[in-house]
C-alpha cells in the first residue's frame, strides 16, 4: 500500500468564521493556528500549506487569565540605542486588538517559510462587521476550548 501525499492543487480551502468574544487569547490562538495549518484534515502534511481561510471577529472582546491584563507587555524596537518601547496589554487591546490576536497566532505557527503563507489566510476584525460575506464563511463555535460546528 502506498502512502497518499496530497498535491497543492488538491487542497480544498474553506472559509471559516470564529467569534472571539469571551474567548481566552491563548486557546483561541492555538485553534486558529491549527485551522490555518490544516491539522484537522486527514491529508495533513507538515511541509505543505493545507489550511483554510479564517476570519476572527470581535477581537476587542478577547480575554486573558490571571494578571495578564495589567502585566502582559508587547515590545518593539526602533533599532536605535535606547529605542525599546513597551506597551501593556490593556493599552494594546484598546488601540490595536487585531495585532494582539495576530501576534498570538504568529507565535503558535512554525518559524519557517510557510508562516507568511499561513498568516495571509488570517483576517482579524475589531468588531462584528467583516468584508467577506461573499465567501459564505461557516461559523465555528468554541466550547470548552474545542471547536464545534
Sequence-distant (6+) residues with CB within 8 A of 117 are: 49
- Average pLDDT of the chain is 94
Grid coordinates of 4: 497518499
Average pLDDT for residues 110-133, to the nearest whole number? 96
| Domain that residue 120 falls in | 14-64+98-148
Q: Supply the pTM of this predicted model.
A: 0.92
pLDDT of residue 23: 94
42 within domain boundaries: yes
Rounded to 5 degrees, φ, ψ at 119 are: -70, -25
pLDDT(1) > 80: no
Residue 72 resides in a domain: no
How many helices (H) and strands (E) would you count in the chain? 5, 7
* Number of folded domains that form the chain: 1
pLDDT at 4: 80
List pLDDT tens digits, range 62-107.
999 999 999 999 999 999 999 999 999 999 999 999 999 999 999 9
> How many other C-beta atoms can be found within 10 angstroms of the C-beta atom of residue 17?
19
Residue for grid cell 491584563: 69
- For the cut 80, the answer to whether the pLDDT of residue 149 exceeds it is no
Amino acid at each position: 500500500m502506498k502512502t497518499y501525499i496530497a498535491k497543492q492543487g488538491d487542497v480544498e480551502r474553506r472559509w471559516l468564521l470564529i467569534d472571539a468574544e469571551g474567548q481566552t487569547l491563548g486557546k483561541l490562538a492555538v485553534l486558529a493556528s491549527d485551522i490555518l495549518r490544516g491539522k484537522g484534515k486527514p491529508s495533513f502534511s507538515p511541509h505543505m500549506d493545507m489550511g483554510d481561510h479564517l476570519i476572527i471577529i470581535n477581537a476587542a472582546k478577547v480575554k486573558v487569565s490571571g494578571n495578564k491584563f495589567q502585566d502582559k507587555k508587547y515590545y518593539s524596537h526602533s533599532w536605535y540605542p535606547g529605542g525599546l518601547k513597551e506597551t501593556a496589554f490593556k493599552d494594546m487591546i484598546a488601540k490595536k486588538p487585531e495585532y494582539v490576536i495576530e501576534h498570538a497566532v504568529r507565535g503558535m505557527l512554525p518559524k519557517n517559510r510557510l508562516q507568511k503563507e499561513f498568516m495571509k489566510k488570517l483576517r482579524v476584525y475589531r468588531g462584528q462587521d467583516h468584508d467577506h460575506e461573499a465567501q459564505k464563511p461557516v461559523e465555528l463555535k468554541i466550547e470548552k476550548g474545542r471547536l464545534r460546528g
